[in-house]
Amino acid sequence: MTNTIGNPPRVMDQRPAHRRRYALHHFRISHGMVASAWFRLLVRNHFAVSPSRIPFALQVSIYSVLNSVLRLVQTLLLGRRIARLELAARPIFIIGHWRTGTTLLHELLALDERFLAPSTLECFAPAHFLVTGRLLRMLAWFLPATRPMDDMAVGWDRPQEDEFALLNLGFGSPYETLIFPNHRPVGIEFLNMSEMTPEQVEAWKAGLSCFLKQVQFRSDRESRCPPQARRLVLKSPPHTARLHILRPLFPGAQFVHIVRHPFDVFASTVRLWRAMSETQGCQAPRQGQLPNGAPSIEDYVLHVMELLYRDFVDQVAQLPRENICEVRYEDLVRAPIAEVRRIYQHLGLDTFEPVRPRLEAHLASLGDYTPNDCSISEDHKAEVSRRWRWYMERYNYGFDRQ
């Protein structure tokens, strides 16, 4: 049995990621939006939908009304029971920049049945999954086989990041820029929330808490475990900038922060935003500096990293040592079982050995894969080295790596 990971499971597609297109029937992130969130986003972006994306925008408009109706049904049927629910204590947050391995680590930790991770179904249909979950699971053909940026397998029951739920419920997210990529950085204020009003922050906190209660309610209803026995494991790169909000909201919460060589992070994140903008956007994405002054994808990635980590060091310093564990992607890929065991030991989690067989079986199913080719120019290496210098120095990444 191998204890290394080449790359998560992929179905190879030789076309560049930014040129891959979903079929019209494939489920996109915004198909789960409620009407208030969708039409507010349209107004905010002056209905600037590309002609080629009008059918998609009309589709989302219809879905959003249906989502709102189903949300009302779910609230009428289950709202009081959900409101009375007490969230399980001390969730675990997986944080770190995009493309550092947060998804891989989330899926590995979620293999432990003592933990509870939000699923793709719950995050993409957050308004009504408690009443429509069984139906949606039968519509697996709505999902593409793989993610557009890295060919990782997609499935309704796979762990997913809660940021998509916040976007679809209308509580704001930097992922708004995926829907209107030519207007970036639309939604950037929802990254660290420093420019939001206290009322907006409270609404965001209430939205996240309510969504997590629904996830736990579903688990308690379907699981054999006693109520509240399963500890939430959440993953969202934007949460890296929100420790000042998450710490008081979830006292005693623990964090696993994963890092990766910045050259790889930059190149892979540029690929990510291109692929997601192409497949999820209401605008046909244009490359380079845009006429409206919007930054290029490369400049956007450089800027977002700075915002993501602006207050990170100060916030981490306020966490007890046992509540923050830092992981290098390179170590996780090289020795995943050893790294996951170290996380368990550092955070004082339950015994590791019961989950080891599931980890070994999962790793065996991954096999060895060649990572996507994400090259970086010498100019961008220089820019990354200059603007992300502190990150490279803090986590001991070399400036001269080829």
Q: Which tens digits make up the pLDDT trace of 19-31?
A: 445 666 778 899 9
Which pLDDT score, from 0 to 100, does residue 188 have? 93
Which pLDDT score, from 0 to 100, does residue 209 have? 97
At residue 289, does pLDDT exceed 80?
no
Q: What is the pLDDT of residues 197-210, one digit of tens each?
A: 999 999 999 999 99
Residues 6+ away with beta carbon under 8 Å from 11 = 145, 146, 151, 153
Residue pair 154/120 in contact (Cβ under 8 Å)? The answer is: yes
**For the whole model, what pTM was predicted?**
0.91
The pLDDT of 212-218, averaged and rounded, is 96
Domains and CATH numbers, the chain: 17-394 (3.40.50.300)
Range scoring the smallest mean pLDDT among 6-20, 109-123, 308-322, 347-361: 6-20
The pLDDT of 164-180, averaged and rounded, is 96
Which pLDDT score, from 0 to 100, does residue 328 have? 98
Which pLDDT score, from 0 to 100, does residue 286 have? 82
Amino acid of residue 383: E
More confident residue, 74 or 147: 74
pLDDT-based confidence at 287, cuts 50/70/90?
confident
- What distance in Å separates the CA atoms of residue 63 and residue 69, rounded to the nearest whole number? 10
Beta bridge partners of 327: 258
- What distance in Å separates the CA atoms of residue 184 and residue 290, rounded to the nearest whole number? 10
Residues 6+ away with beta carbon under 8 Å from 196 = 172, 189, 190, 204
CB neighbourhood size of 8 (10 A): 18
Average pLDDT, the chain: 89
- What distance in Å separates the CA atoms of residue 292 and residue 304, rounded to the nearest whole number? 19
pLDDT-based confidence at 365, cuts 50/70/90?
confident
At residue 18, does pLDDT exceed 50?
no
Amino acid of residue 97: H
Measured on CA atoms in the order 164, 340, 145, 305, is the torsion positive or negative?
A: positive
Q: What order do you get walking across the sheet with 231-235 strand by strand?
A: 115-116, 231-235, 92-95, 254-259, 324-328
Residue pair 138/86 in contact (Cβ under 8 Å)? The answer is: no
At residue 294, does pLDDT exceed 90?
no
At residue 341, does pLDDT exceed 80?
yes
At residue 8, does pLDDT exceed 60?
no
pLDDT-based confidence at 350, cuts 50/70/90?
confident
Which pLDDT score, from 0 to 100, does residue 384 have? 96
More confident residue, 17 or 75: 75
At residue 148, does pLDDT exceed 90?
no
Which pLDDT score, from 0 to 100, does residue 12 have? 39
Which pLDDT score, from 0 to 100, does residue 161 have? 96
